[in-house]
Amino acid sequence: MLGNDVSAAAAGEWTLGDATVRRIGFGAMRLTAKADGSPSDRDTAVGVLHRARELGVNHVDTAAFYFSAQRSANELINRALAPYPDDLVVATKVGPGRDPSGGWLPLARPDQLRGQVEENLRQLGRDHLDVVNLRQAGLDSIAEHFGALAELRAAGLIRHLGLSNVRPEHLEQALEIAPVVCVQNQYGLHQRRSAALLRRCGELGIAFVPFFAITGEGREGGGVADDAAAREIADGHGVTPAQVRLAWTLHQGPHVLAIPGTGNPDHLAQNVAAGALRLSEADLARLG
């Protein structure tokens, strides 16, 4: 049973670039729409962001392509959190894009990445971005794309660079061009294909930031993947299966940062509280 004194500080900290962040952060994707696809309530979404800060969250993950018919995650963050506190790290990602109706566009060319960076700057109301992750899809080499972002970093538009949805060879390609502070890949109790990359990041002191750590195969659809062992361990600790999944994720290494997303203030508090859950060796063995 977790206590009522919920704080992101209980999860511990890791250095992300030149900032120290709590290992439980917040993913903004769920802010823009409800589970049924209808637009979220603006005041509720802003309230969730305020509450995240009250609970000690200082790492927020977002993207310009996180939007619904009426909501933009970046603009909600701008409204709720600007002027931005010095301890807050807002990480975004570029590469994918969507047209105004929400349809996915082809992966941006290297010469289009500046436009995506500037769109994030405009929506967030910033003169620089703390962390920009290159999210790739279908590239054998990311060198040209990552090189374009490295030029924007040198120009002062970006402080730190990261990678998303990559293979181990992509990380090595990027490191030949510029420092990498984080890698975002799908990873969780239900899906561990990035285990080797997680270990490699640990060896290099790079943050590994798993997404969809709670959900199952539905991913964007939300919800919690079902697993009998997680349910039984949750019952034993008096917590939820989602909290067990988040705690398991954090147990994978001190460099692992969780970014669960929600538009529900109660779920937010539960997610943050999961940072205080310590699983036993027996629990971890049961989860495999």
Write out the catalytic residue numbers.
Answer: 66
Residue pair 260/26 in contact (Cβ under 8 Å)? The answer is yes
Residue 182 to residues 88, 154, 165, 189, 270, Cα–Cα distance (Å): 16, 18, 12, 20, 25
Under DSSP, is residue 61 helix (H, G, I), strand (E, B) or coil?
strand
Residue owning tokens 């994707």: 29
Selection from 213, 217, 222 nearest residue 35 by Cα? 222
Residue owning tokens 């305020």: 50
Residue pair 185/43 in contact (Cβ under 8 Å)? The answer is no
